[in-house]
Amino acid sequence: MSDHHPATRHRSVLFMPASNPRAIAKAQGLACDAVILDLEDAVAPEAKADARAAAVAAAAGFGARPCAVRINALDTLWGQDDAVAVRGVAAVVVPKVASAADLVAIRAALGADGPPIWAMIETCGAILRLPEIAAAAATTGTALLIAGTNDLAKEMRCRPDADRTPLLPALTQLVIAARAAGLVALDGVCNAIGDPDRLAAECAQGAMLGFDGKTLIHPAQIDAANAAFGPSAEQLAWARAVVTAFAAPDATGRGAIRLDGAMVERLHLAEAERILALAG
């Protein structure tokens, strides 16, 4: 299984239908941090087999950027064949993970040395079992949690407003579970393709909640996600100042120092180093 590096950027993760070769070719030149080739919702039943072959063939064309494949659930007609076919891709996105047992089952299907799992959390049961799912991440090779906000809202029968108010408790729980297990956390998609203000607001909200990035459904959404989830100029200036201050001779061996009128500790140094790593 591939190791997850905490400094890898996941600001913008674009879903693309694996059945659309033109879209896949276009995605190879886009500025998103990662791509998910979709074999599930975006592909009609009669096109599943062809899309599977196309996804496997295309996955190697994204260079250093992760190209994951979302498979169909194992209990569908296509899930087992998908799992066998995608064993060589960068990561496997698993829909509707509801328990640790689901992660164990997909790891068995992918093989012990298969790619890391990106688990979609999109049911009420999954939210209730987030501690269990997070605890099983290390032994099942799970590296990332994705908020499946559309399916979750449907199952909750809630009516999300522009601020996604009914979903905020679940989104917060997902981030907490991911952080507890050392996982990447991705916010759900924004359906309002033609509303840049709403997209920008969702991205800002996701970053405020602690997500590492956002899943996207259209190339036009990439720039907003990259801007919101990337370090701001102010964050970079702060991070450089903290690293410089702790590197000074008089800071040697000290757990906390004074910087610009504020007390900063070694935990702030770790955060500053993380921000600089994300900025490249």
Residues of the binding site? 70, 122, 151
For residues 141 and 3, give the distance between their C-alpha atoms in angstroms, rounded to a whole number.
9
Q: Are strands 256-259 and 262-265 parallel, antiparallel or unpaired?
A: antiparallel
Residue ranges for the known binding site for Mg(2+) are 122, 151
Assess contact for 36 and 15: CB atoms under 8 A: yes
Residues in the chain: 280
Residue ranges for the known binding site for substrate are 70, 122
Q: Which residue has the tokens 């096109």?
A: 47
